[in-house]
Chains A and B, each alone.
Chain A
Amino acid sequence: MLEVKNLMKRFRLDNKTIKENKKKSKEMLDRREQGHWFNAVVDVSFSCESGEVLGLLGPNGAGKTTSLRMLSTALQPTSGQIVINGDDVVADPLAMRKRIGFLSGTTSLYHRLTVRENVQYFGRLHGMNEDLLETEIKKVFDLLDIHSFADKKADSLSTGMKQRANIARTVIHQPEVIVLDEPTTGLDVISAKTILDFIESYKGSDVPVVFSTHHLHEVEKLCDRVVLINEGTTQFNGTLDDFRRVSGTGNLYDVFVKLVDEKEVA
C-alpha cells in the first residue's frame, strides 16, 4: 500500500524571477510564490491500495510531476510523508528505490545501448541476480511485446517502442509500487493500448499503480480511484464513481473542468 500524507515541496526562485516578482502587484503573482520561494506542491495527500490503479489528474503546472518525482525519491519533500507498506520513503530513499518503479517524460533509456542491455543494466543496478534478471526480462518482454526489437539500439526505435522498453526498465526489478507520469503521451493508439493493457494487468495484484494523465478516457478505462491536484493541493480524492458524481452529468470532462474552475474562482 502507498500512502502520501501532507506532501509539500518548495523551490527557491532564481534571482531573475525574484527581481521580476518585486515589480509585480500582489494580484499578478502566482499564489504559490512566497518571497524567494515557490511552493510547487503545497499539500497533497492520497493513498493507493495494492492492486488498485490510481489516476492522478490536474492541469499543467498543478504539481503532479513534482509530487510523482517525490514519490520516486528523485526529489526530497520539504515536508510530509510517503509510506510504502509501512516503510517511510523519505527516511531512507536509497533503500526504498529498490521498491519503486518510476517512469516519466524525463526518464529515458541509453540511446547507444540495446533495449536488452538497458533493461539488464538497470536490473543489475537494482541488485538483481543474473538468473532472476533473465527470467524477468523474458516475462516483461512477453507482456510488452518487446522481443522483436529487444536487440536494437534504443535510438533506432519508434516512440512507442521506446516507451514500451522504458516501462520494461521501470518494472524489471519487481517494484512494490509503480508510478507512471503520463506514460501514453505522444504515443499512437496501438502503443498506448499495449501500455494501458500492461497497467491493467496489475489490477488485483499486490502492486499499487499511480499514473498521471491528461487523457480522461484512460482514467475511465483503468482507474479505481482518482486524485485531482490543482495549484499544489489535493482538490479531489475518491473513487471514480464519486468523481463522476461531482458534476451531476457523469462526464469526466465536465467534472475536471468544474473542479479546476472552482479553484480558480476561489
Chain B
Amino acid sequence: MLKVYFKELLELTRDKKTLIFTILLPTLIMPIILLGFTTLSVKIAQKANVETLKFAIVGGDYFPELKEVLTNNESLKFSLVDVDKSESVNELINDSEIRFALVISENIRKDIDDGLSGEIEFRYNDSAATSALIYKRVNDAIDSLKVAELNKRYKSIGLTQEQGEAFSKPIKLVRKSTADKRESLGEKFGALLPYILILVGLSGAMYPAIDLGVGEKERGTLETLLLTPVPRFQLVFAKFAVIFTTSFLSVFLSLISFALVTTIFGPMFVNSMGAEASKSAGEVLETLSTVSITDVFLMFSMLVPVAAIFASALLSVSIYARTFKEAQNYMSPIMIVVFLPLILSILPGVKLDWVWASVPITNVSLAIKEIFKGTIDMDMLFVIFASTTLIAGLLLALCNWWFQREQVLFRN
C-alpha cells in the first residue's frame, strides 16, 4: 500500500495543477486576505479621507453659515460647485461631477429659532464604496454649527453646556464589554477563518481526487493497477491517503502562512502603512498573535476528520464518474453541500451546543471560531471529533465498496 501511496504522491508533485491548488494557493491565500485586503481597504479609506470633495449647496441663502463652515477651512478639503436648480444635483452626483449636495430647507432658520430641528438634506450616491466615509466627513465638518446652535439654546434657558448635555440625555446607556480583545475580534474574524480553512481543504482535495479516480480511469492506468496483486481496499486506502495528505497539506500551509502573517510579516507590513492605519491594523495583528500554539493544534485536530471526509467523498465521486468532465460536473453540488453548513455556522443565534456539534462542517466551523475566540468547551471538541471521524469512516467504507464494484469501475 505504501508503494502505491508514494507513487501517487510522486506523480502529483509532477503535476503543475496539483502544486498550484495544494501548495501555492493555500500559502498565498492568507497573506492575500490579511495583508492584501487590509492594504486595499486602508488605501481606499485614506484616499476618501484626504481627497478634495466637490459638492453643491441648494438654498444656501437660507443658512449662509453652512457655506462658511465648509469653504472657509481649507483643511476640510471641500470644493463648492455652483448649481442652478436643486433637481440637477442628482444628475451631477450620478455623473460623478460632484460627490454630494446639501439641500437646505426654506424654513431652516425659523425652525432652529423655534427650538425645532432645521433640516439639511444630504444627497449622495449610496452605491459608492466610500459614501459612508463622505457622510462622516460632512457630519464632522458641520459639528461646530450644531454645537453653536445647541449652546445658544442652553444659554436661553440658563444652562451651561454640561448641564445642557445632561438635560438632553437624562439617561445614558454606556457600553462596557466584558469580552477581551481576542474574544471580541474572534467573534468578527473567527467566522472567516474556518470558512477559508475548510474551503482551502476542499480545493486541496478536489483536483488530486479527480486525478486519482476518474483521471486514472480515463488514462487507462486504473485497469493496469487493478491487475496487480494488491487488494482493492489497499488501493482505495492508498488513494484516500494521498488525497487526505494534499487536503491537509493545503490547510497546514494556510495555517502556517496565517501564523507567519500575524507574527512576522504582518507587523513589518503594518509599520509601513502610516500612523493611523498602522495603529488599528497593528491592534488586530497583536490580538491575532495571541492565538497560541495549542489553539492552532486544536484547529488542526478539528480539520483532520474534515480533510478525511473530503478525501473519501471526492474519491467516491471520482471513481464513479465516467469522465473527467463528468467528475467536474459533480464538484459544483459538492461545493454547495460544503457551503450550506458553513453558512449555517455564521447565522445569528447558531452557537456550538450538543445539537450543532453533531452537524458536520457546521460543527467544525463553530469550533474553530470558538477556539479562535479562546472560549472553546473541550467536551464539545471531543463530540465533534468523534462525529466527524465517524462520518469520514462511513464515507471511506462507501468508497471501498464502490471500488469493489465492476459496474462502477468499468462503467464505460
Binding site for B on A (CB under 8 A): 11-12, 72-76, 94-95, 97-98, 100, 102, 104-113, 121-122, 124-127, 169
Contact = CB atoms under 8 A, between A and B. Distances in A.
B160 interface: no
A113 B230 CA distance: 20
B223 interface: yes
Contacts of B4: 125
A106 B410 CA distance: 11
B275 interface: no
Contacts of B3: 121, 124-125
A11 B406 CA distance: 9
A107 B227 CA distance: 9
B226 A74 contact: yes
A169 B229 contact: no
A111 B219 CA distance: 8
A107 B406 CA distance: 16
Contact of A126 (B228, B407, B410): B228
A15 B285 CA distance: 59
A106 B223 CA distance: 7
Interface residues of B, number: 22
B229 A97 contact: yes
Contacts of A169: 224
Interface in B104-137: none
Given A12-B407, A121-B3, A98 B229 contact: yes
A216 to B, nearest CB: 26
B5 to A, nearest CB: 12
Interface stretch (B8-16, B53-61, B173-181, B313-321): B8-16
B325 interface: no
B220 interface: yes
A127 B224 CA distance: 16
B323 to A, nearest CB: 14
Contacts of A111: 219
Contacts of B225: 125
Contact of B229 (A108, A109, A125): A125
B14 A74 contact: no
A72 B227 contact: yes
21 contacts: A74-B226, A74-B227, A74-B410, A75-B406, A94-B231, A95-B229, A100-B227, A102-B227, A107-B220, A107-B224, A109-B221, A110-B11, A110-B219, A112-B15, A113-B14, A124-B3, A125-B3, A125-B4, A125-B225, A125-B230, A169-B224
Contact of B228 (A95, A104, A125): A125
Nearest to B13: A112
A105 to B, nearest CB: 7
A95 to B, nearest CB: 7
Interface string B208-233: 00000000000111011111111100
A151 B198 CA distance: 40
Interface string B175-199: 0000000000000000000000000
B154 to A, nearest CB: 81
B167 to A, nearest CB: 80
A72 to B, nearest CB: 6
Interface of B: 3-4, 7, 10-11, 14-15, 219-221, 223-231, 406-407, 410
A108 B219 contact: yes
Nearest to B10: A113
Residue among A75, A95, A106 having the largest count of chain B Cβ atoms under 10 Å: A106
B136 to A, nearest CB: 57
B407 A113 contact: no
Given A104-B223, A121-B3, A97 B406 contact: no
A108 B224 contact: yes
The 8 A-B pairs at the shortest CB distance, nearest first, are namely A108-B220, A125-B228, A97-B229, A112-B14, A107-B224, A112-B11, A106-B220, A98-B229
A121 B406 contact: no
A261 B337 CA distance: 55
Contacts of A107: 220-221, 223-224, 227
A100 to B, nearest CB: 7
A90 to B, nearest CB: 14
A127 B230 CA distance: 9
B227 A76 contact: no
A12 B407 CA distance: 8
Residue among A98, A110, A113 having the largest count of chain B Cβ atoms under 10 Å: A110
Nearest to B15: A112
A196 B14 CA distance: 34
B202 to A, nearest CB: 24
B185 to A, nearest CB: 45
Nearest to A169: B224
Contacts of B223: 74, 104, 106-107
A73 B225 CA distance: 12
Contacts of B407: 11-12
Contacts of A108: 219-221, 224
B205 to A, nearest CB: 19
A73 B229 CA distance: 10
Contacts of A124: 3
B211 to A, nearest CB: 10
A121 B221 contact: no
Given A74-B227, A113-B7, 12 more contacts: A75-B406, A95-B229, A97-B228, A105-B220, A107-B221, A108-B221, A110-B11, A112-B14, A113-B14, A124-B3, A125-B3, A125-B228
B406 A76 contact: yes
Contacts of B14: 112-113
Contacts of A106: 220, 223
Contacts of B11: 110, 112-113
